[in-house]
Amino acid sequence: MRILLAIDGSPSSEAAIEEVCRRPWPPDSEARIVTVISHFESMLMKAGNHDKQAYDDVLEHESMETARRLYDIASTIGQRAPCLHVTPKLLIGKPTEAILDEAEQWGADLIVVGSRGHGPVKRFFLGSVSLAIALHAPCSVEIVRGSPEVTGTETKKVS
């Protein structure tokens, strides 16, 4: 079985990692752990920065930092889920398109992705990577919700 785990550092992404680690996978299963660096050249151009070298330098720095974190996460998953052959892969582009393209090219049987937990209004304005993946994926998709965020500091004594 080929599992494509798409992560972005969000709490729901952490929950997706936990889900992949705790599940008993068939022997010889493969997990490809991906994260996407958004292609932001157009944002720099709109902001008036037409310096290609500056763009390349920022992208290289971001790629190296992200690749380092991705490798560490893949290594941890490999230790926690020894039945999986784990490989990390850094993707560059628009998150939805990059993840869907990777799933198709690699021949993924399952995409596991966290739900960022946006409400309906935010989803309308921002779009939802997990929803778009579920609608257009070439394989099954599992969307994992993270724990609800703690928003207050109120405590209660339990007797």
125-158 per-position pLDDT tens digit: 334 889 999 999 999 999 998 765 544 444 344 4
List the beta bridge partners of residue 8.
none
Domain extents for the chain?
2-145
97 pLDDT band (50/70/90 cuts)? Answer: very high
Distances (CA, A) of 123 to 10, 78, 120, 127: 16, 33, 5, 5
pLDDT digits (tens, 9 = 90+) for 31-54: 999 999 876 544 555 555 566 666
C-beta atoms surrounding 36 within 10 Å: 22
How is domain 2-145 classified at the CATH fold level? Rossmann fold (3.40.50)
C-beta atoms surrounding 155 within 10 Å: 6
Q: Which residues contact 82 (CB under 8 A, 6 or more apart)?
A: none
- Residues belonging to the chain: 159
> What is the mean predicted confidence (pLDDT) over 14-19?
94
